[in-house]
Structure formats: structure tokens, C-alpha cells
């Protein structure tokens, strides 16, 4: 039965999940929203095939329920920024979907461990498990076990294949990856205003930090990364992984024990005696959440929040997904757009 379902899901994924986003039944946009049909039709001419240039795309913003968004903004503004925390996905949310006309890489995809045999084995695991991850008919309990199995096998291959920290540095240097315009300014403002930022990722914290070091050339004391963290020996050889395994179905605030500050070029934490994840966000009952697909909304699971403003980055397949995204997120940024709307929001809330 399991094999039959897996085969069916693989077939379905090849036909309908090319975007890499989880299938949901399309929902109707709430009254008062901008017509998503109109917005989608306006984007027809800018839809491109994977890998084609999108440099000429103009970022656009769609707000499904302006009245509800304004209500949330008033409430958060009244409570003050001392009540606020920001939760962000990393790949294709803080980073770009397209980089110089080429599909950007995720932090998992960019890793070349310098061992062709083990790189191939990891790719084979992806080919087997990814259709199961995106299959809408597999129950959550069963899918969770499958994701734990996939991540565990992948981590074992990284250790067995002799991954080194030097290979991570080289992989990042050669990667097709970059941050959205406005990310640095956003993080600087949030740091200046002492607003904590939690970056959640089912990927690898060490790669996320290396991307930030090489592409942003600076650290931020208010950031905590909640992701899988590696354990290296004194020579930079991977020994294993620290703490709880984080996969796509549990990257949320229930995993805050894995939150850690950024590290400098010498491997030292940029914050002395840093607060742990729980202490950092305690009593911060208002949330701004940034993600690039529907599943990212679950990153705030475990937060007893009063108000949550969600911003979704819809990078592709706008005709198919605009209605769903506009219903699910308060603000939708189209066409691999910049962080302008988030910057404007923070500035408005701080006035």
C-alpha cells in the first residue's frame, strides 16, 4: 500500500508540483481584496520558464484583506516594538529566487562535499523522498517519519563522505545564491531597534551562516538561526550533528532549543552570554512572519501570539497560486520582489 501511494505521489508530483510548493485546494480571496484574477492576468506576459531571465520583472504587492491588515498594524503599533519578533524562512525568502537570470540555489542544493559518489547518493535520496514530501495524500504522521528518515540518511552521508568545513566555504563561494534587495537594510533596522529575528530552516545552520558571511560580510546580534547544526573536529572534519533534527515539518518555535547566535570568521558567537531562543522572544506576543510557501506559516507554531502579520513571497506560477497566497498571507510579494514592503511595514510600526 505504501509503495502504491508513493508511486502515485511521485507521478502526481511530476505533473503538478513542479513549483516545489505544497498542493492546497485553491481558496477564494476574501471580499475587499484586489482581484487576484486581474493581478494574475497582468502577470501573464512576465511568466517565464525556469532559468529564463526575469530581470525586467517589476515587483508587485497584493493585499487580500486591507482592513484586517490595518487592524493588525494598529494593534502592534500600540503595543510597541518591544512586543515584536520576526520569524523568517531563509531559502527563497531572504534569498533570491533568480540570480542573474539563473534559478538560485538553496542551502542544501549548493553543497558539494567534494566526493562525487556521496553527492550522487544524496541526489538519489532527494529523487526518492521529495515527491513524498510534496504528496498531499500522505498523512502527516507518516510523512513526518519519512522526513526524519530522509534527513537522517542525508546527514549520515555527509559524515560518511568526509564533509569538511572547507568544502562548505568553497561550495558557498561557487554557489548561485544572493539576498533580496533590502535584506541588509531590514536586518540593520531590526538590530538597531532590538527586534529579535529567528531564521528557521530545515537546511544546515553552518551553510546559512557561511552564506551570510560571504554575501553580507557582517553579523547581527539580534539573529538566532534555528536549523541543523554540524559538529566539526579541530581540523574541520564533520563528526556529526548537534541536538534535535529539524526537517520541513518541525521547523517552528517548538524547536527553539536549537536556536543559536551567528558566529564570526573564527567560529566564536557574535554575542557574549547570548540569550537562548526562548528567553529572546519571551513576552514578544506580536509576530511578523516571512515565507515563500504555504508551509512556512507553520513556523509560528508554538507561539502564543496576539497579532501576526504574514508576508508571502510568490516567486513563480503566479496564475496558479495567487488566489491561495492572497488568502493565506496578509501581504503577497510577487516576481521575486525586494524587501521594500517589509521595510515600509517596520518603519510604519516604529513611528
What is the set of active-site residues?
Answer: 89, 91
Secondary structure (3-state) at 241: strand
Return the HEC string of 336-348: CCCCHHHHHHHHH
Separation CA 162–CA 195 (nearest Å): 39
Beta-ladder partners of 226: 200, 259
The answer to whether residues 170 and 76 touch, using CB atoms and an 8 Å cutoff, is no
Nearest to 37 by CA among 48, 46, 29, 45: 29
Q: Answer positive or negative: Cα dihedral of 10, 16, 21, 25.
A: negative
**For 298, which DSSP code?**
G
Neighbours of 277 (CB within 10 A): 20
How far is residue 265 from each of residues 88, 169, 191, 219, 240, measured CA to CA in Å? 23, 11, 20, 10, 21
Residue 277 backbone phi and psi in degrees, to 5: -60, -40
Cβ(9)–Cβ(138) under 8 Å? yes
- The C-alpha atoms of residue 131 and residue 251 are separated, in whole angstroms, by 19
Could you tell me if 245 and 151 are in contact, meaning their C-beta atoms sit under 8 angstroms apart? Answer: yes
Distance, in Å, from the CA atom of 168 to the CA atom of 263, rounded to the nearest integer, reads: 15
- Cβ proximity of 151 and 132 under 8 Å: no
Name the residue with cell 484574477.
37
Amino acid at each position: 500500500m505504501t509503495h502504491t501511494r508513493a508511486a502515485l505521489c511521485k507521478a502526481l508530483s511530476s505533473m503538478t508540483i513542479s513549483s516545489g510548493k505544497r498542493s492546497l485546494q485553491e481558496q477564494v480571496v476574501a471580499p475587499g481584496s484586489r482581484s487576484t484574477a486581474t493581478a494574475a492576468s497582468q502577470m501573464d506576459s512576465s511568466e517565464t520558464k525556469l532559468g529564463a531571465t526575469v530581470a525586467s520583472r517589476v515587483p508587485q504587492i497584493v493585499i487580500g484583506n486591507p482592513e484586517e491588515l490595518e487592524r493588525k498594524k494598529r494593534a502592534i503599533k500600540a503595543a510597541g516594538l518591544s512586543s515584536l519578533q520576526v520569524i523568517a524562512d531563509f531559502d527563497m525568502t531572504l534569498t533570491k529566487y533568480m540570480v542573474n537570470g539563473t534559478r538560485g540555489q538553496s542551502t542544501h542544493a549548493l553543497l558539494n562535499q567534494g566526493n562525487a559518489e556521496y553527492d550522487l547518493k544524496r541526489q538519489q535520496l532527494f529523487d526518492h523522498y521529495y515527491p513524498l514530501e510534496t504528496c498531499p495524500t500522505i498523512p502527516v504522521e507518516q510523512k513526518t517519519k519519512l522526513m526524519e528518515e530522509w534527513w537522517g540518511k542525508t546527514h549520515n552521508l555527509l559524515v560518511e563522505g568526509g564533509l569538511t568545513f572547507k568544502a562548505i566555504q568553497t561550495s558557498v563561494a561557487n554557489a548561485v545564491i544572493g539576498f533580496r534587495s533590502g535584506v541588509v537594510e531590514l536586518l540593520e533596522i531590526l538590530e538597531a531597534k532590538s527586534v529579535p529575528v529567528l531564521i528557521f530552516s530545515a537546511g544546515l545552520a553552518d551553510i546559512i551562516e557561511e552564506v551570510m558571511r560571504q554575501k553580507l560580510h557582517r553579523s547581527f546580534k539580534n539573529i538566532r538561526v534555528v536549523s541543523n547544526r554540524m559538529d566539526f573536529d579541530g581540523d574541520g572534519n564533520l563528526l556529526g550533528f548537534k541536538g534535535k533534527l529539524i526537517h520541513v515539518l518541525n521547523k517552528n518555535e517548538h524547536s527553539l532549543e536549537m536556536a543559536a547566535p551567528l558566529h564570526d570568521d573564527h567560529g566564536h558567537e557574535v554575542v557574549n552570554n547570548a540569550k537562548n531562543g526562548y528567553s529572546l522572544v519571551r513576552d514578544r506576543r506580536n509576530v511578523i512572519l516571512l515565507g515563500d510557501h504555504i508551509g512556512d506559516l507553520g513556523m509560528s507554531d508554538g507561539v502564543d501570539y496576539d497579532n501576526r502579520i504574514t508576508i508571502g513571497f510568490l516567486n513563480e506560477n503566479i496564475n496558479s497560486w495567487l488566489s491561495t497566497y492572497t488568502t493565506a498571507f496578509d501581504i503577497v510579494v510577487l516576481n521575486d520582489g525586494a524587501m521594500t514592503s517589509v521595510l515600509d511595514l517596520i518603519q510604519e510600526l516604529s513611528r
